[in-house]
Amino acid sequence: MKEPSLSTVKKYYLALTKVKKKYVTSESLSLVVGIYPEVINETLSYFNPMVIMDYKFNLLDLLPDMKEFIAKKEEAKKPASTVIVKKGDVNAYNSVSEFIYKKMTYNGIVDKNAYLSDKDLKLLKKIIAEEQKRRKGK
C-alpha cells in the first residue's frame, strides 16, 4: 500500500475530530470533506485494509493511528538546528590570517588535515566578509 501524504491525513484527521457523531463512515466523511468515498477509503486503507472492503467501517477507530502517523511525520520534518555565530566570536580575530593561524596550525606549520566545524566555517565566512568590507572602505 502506498503511504498517504501528510496533508491529506491531516485533513481527514481534522474533519473526523470535528464531527460530533459517534459513528462516521466514508460516505458521511465525504460530505464533510468534499472528496469521493472511494478516494477516502483508498487513502485510509494504509491504516486498516478493511476500510476498502467494508463501506460501513467506523473511521473514528482510525484516529489513534492517524494521530501517531502525523506525529511521526512532523517529528521527522523538523530541521536541524542552525549554527549561530555571535559578534564577539568574530571580533576575537583581527584578520583571516589570525583565524587560520589559531585554528589550522600546529607548532607554526599549517595542518592540511585540520577539520573545521560548521561553526568555524560560518565564523570564517563572517571574518572574510568583514575584511572585504574594510578593504573596500580604504
Residues 116 and 60 in one domain: no
Region 52-73: mean pLDDT is: 93
Are the CB atoms for 107 and 70 separated by under 8 Å? no
Residues 10 and 66 in one domain: yes
Q: Is the pLDDT of residue 103 over 90?
A: no
Grade residue 76 by pLDDT with cuts at 50, 70 and 90.
Answer: confident
Residues 71 and 104 in one domain: no
Q: Which of 49, 77, 105 is the last residue of a domain?
A: 77
Residues 60 and 102 in one domain: no
pTM beyond cutoff 0.75: no
Q: Is the pLDDT of residue 17 over 90?
A: yes
Domain assignment of residue 30, given as a range: 6-77
Average pLDDT, the chain: 90
Who has greater pLDDT, 83 or 126? 126
Are the CB atoms for 26 and 47 separated by under 8 Å? no
The pLDDT assigned to 71 comes to 93
Are the CB atoms for 56 and 25 separated by under 8 Å? yes
Residues 54 and 115 in one domain: no
Q: How many domains does the chain have?
A: 2
